[in-house]
Structure 1
Amino acid sequence: MSLAGVGRQGVDAAATSRANRGWWDGAADEYQAEHGEFLRDAGFVWCPEGLDEADARLLGDVEGRDVLEIGCGAGQCGRWLAGRGARVAAFDLSFRQLQHSRRIDLGSGSGLPLPVLQADAEVLPFADEVFDLACSAFGALPFVADPGAVLTEVRRVLRPGGRLVFSVSHPIRWAFPDDPGPAGLTCDRSYFDRSPYVEVGEDGRPSYVEHHRTMGDWIALITASELAVRGLVEPEWPAGHDREWGGWSPLRGRLLPGTAIFTCERAPGS
């Protein structure tokens, strides 16, 4: 879809889902070509800063655990988890992203494809209390109109004591232009302006939508869903990492946090 304009405006859940499904279906090929080597066919990278689950261990020991990956893209994280003995189910809104997951499976020659399905994170197609862990590396949560619905659904499918870990753009980034260069270092809007970022197609309908929440909003949404916050990681830009990814860059990363990673838990006995 050709881009007619960019703005800040309210967008409901149905329009958000329709726009982002179409955008990711159209962008999946370019996205995987540009970022596939960094993500690896079976790798768990939490963020553009390059924080790797193999080092961070935010999910703990996954062997023998039932794990749900939310917004899996081409399944790189889920494939890494399966390689470490987890039983993984993964889903994404974009069918084209899931086709890339299948492409990677066929190319690996392992004969063990990652189980994936197309679904909307606000209505999970899983029974109650069937997962020990859930994870999402920039998947779904920044791109839905109602993240509270996603968190409530995740709590439902987690067993008591289960853990959710998810990464999103750090909320402070919304006060700055999405520019990896010097222009991205000057605040140009209010951190408290929660208007979604919207790209509009030539048909006048949203073609891409990303929603902004403050750090306080995220904490409130997590607790309202009856999950408990157990940790927050703001990855620092590592020395020697010179790769740019959209608005993420060494210049900005040395001065501003780019990612927030929340660890949440469904309390035992709840």
Structure 2
Amino acid sequence: MTQDRPDAVTAFPRRESGQQETVTANRSWWDREAEDYLDEHGEFLGDADLVWGPEGWTEEELQVLGDPARLPGCDVLEFGGGAAQGGRWFASRGARVVSSDLSREMLRTAGRLDRRSSGPAPALVQADATRLPFASEAFDVVFSAYGATPFVADSAGLMAELARVLRPGGLLAFSTSHPIRWAFPDLPDETGLTATGSYFDETPYVEDVGGRASYVEHHRTMGHRIAEILDAGLVLRAVHEPEWPADNESVWGGWSPLRGSRFPGTAIFLATRPSRD
């Protein structure tokens, strides 16, 4: 999920950043931050839970994926899986799961959780989500909770790649920052309630340290996110905009109960690959 910003950053520009620069910067950033991220947010995320976003809604509560009785025996890919909490949740329900991530150190945190967990564990694979090392039509379900989608420059290529590895009739589900957030400062207090930028500006957020990109996030409008899903040959089934739950008093970066009561912080997209029938 999107992070609090590191203190050592010397500039916070919005500028263009291509696929290779984005991959290099974000792999290094997540490698550096993996342990601290798990230590800070691990209790919130759980070891084997599918938490869709900083609001704290779980799959059991939202039922984005529908009937869990269909999961046993399914082949599942978690892309941008981080410590593979979501992958472990699927594995505990009888699915055959692979969890992939760009960062080797994030996968090491996944191994750390595997060793302390008593349940089944997913297979772990290091991979750029836009270039997956899997055969076409290999998975029944492809999903991610805030993984990869905001951290790749070629988001249209990402959707095409996810569609490639999905079997006909298969399901794609992923969450990411709600596009409206980009018009507002990423602050949890009243300052974050006043729009200061253009929703339509898709220039990436790039942190530079020593003249090199150290962290990159990419924005797409809601219309462009949906268009990329459709252009990949998928059928959009639902877009969820979960409200902030009344019992969540935590603050996570720019997410907070105050902002969550005014506008959505997370968007969850659900799509299917058409069956051959």
TM class, shorter-length: over 0.9
- Structure 2 counterpart SS, 1:8: coil
Q: Could you say what secondary structure the match of 2:10 adopts?
A: strand
The Cα of 1:64 is off from its aligned counterpart by 1.5
The one-letter amino acid of 2:130's match is E
Q: Which of 152, 158, 164 lines up with 2:160 in the alignment?
A: 152
**Is structure 2 residue 143 aligned with structure 1 residue 135?**
yes
Letter in 2 for 1:129: E
Q: Which runs of 5+ in 2 are unaligned?
A: 1-5
**Matching of residues 38-53 of structure 1 within 5 Å:** 38-53=44-59
Does the aligned pair in 2 maintain the 1:45–1:51 contact within 8 Å?
A: yes
| Cross-structure match for 1:258 | 265
- What is the aligned counterpart of 1:71 among 80, 87, 98? 80
User: What CA distance in whole angstroms lies between the structure 2 residues aligned with 1:253 and 1:123?
Assistant: 34
Residue 179, structure 1, aligned to residue 187, structure 2: yes
Query: Which residue of 84, 96, 100 corresponds with 2:105?
Result: 96
SS in 2 for 1:5: coil
Q: Does 1:37 align with 2:46?
A: no
Inter-partner Cα distance in structure 2 for 1:71 and 1:166:
10
The answer to whether the Cα contact below 8 Å between 1:49 and 1:237 also exists between their aligned partners in 2 is yes
* AA matched with 1:16: T
- Show structure 1 runs of 4+ deviating over 3 A: none
Deviation for aligned residue 1:193: 0.8
State the 1:109 CA deviation.
4.7
Aligned letter for 1:55? E
1:161 to 143, 148, 169: 169
Write the mapping of 1:209-228 to structure 2, written as runs, cut at 5 A.
209-228=216-235
Match of 1:9, SS? coil
Q: Is the 8 A contact 2:96 2:122 kept in 1?
A: no
1:8-54 Cα deviation digits (max 9, x unpaired): 00001000000000011111111111110010011110011111011
How far apart, CA to CA, are the structure 2 residues paired with 1:159 and 1:108?
A: 30
8 A Cα contact 2:184 2:195, kept in partner: yes
User: Is residue 176–residue 185 contact of structure 1 (8 Å, CA) maintained in 2?
Assistant: yes
Q: Take 1:166 and 1:58, find their aligned partners in 2: how far apart are those partners?
A: 10
Alpha-carbon distance in 2 for matches of 1:151, 1:53: 22
CA drift of 1:58 comes to 1.6
CA distance in 2, matches of 1:130, 1:230: 21
Q: Deviations over 1:42-101 (max 9, x none)?
A: 111001111101122222332211110010000101001100111101100011110001
CA RMSD of aligned residues (A): 1.2
Query: Is residue 3 of structure 1 aligned with residue 12 of structure 2?
Result: no
Contact 2:178 2:264 in 1 (8 A): yes
Q: Name the SS for the 2:13 alignment partner.
A: strand
Q: What is the TM-score when the length of structure 1 is the normalising length? A: 0.97
How far did residue 233 of structure 1 move?
0.4
In structure 1, the residue matched to 2:89 is 80
In structure 1, give the amino acid aligned to 2:128: D
- Work out the CA distance in 2 between the residues paired with 1:58 and 1:108: 25
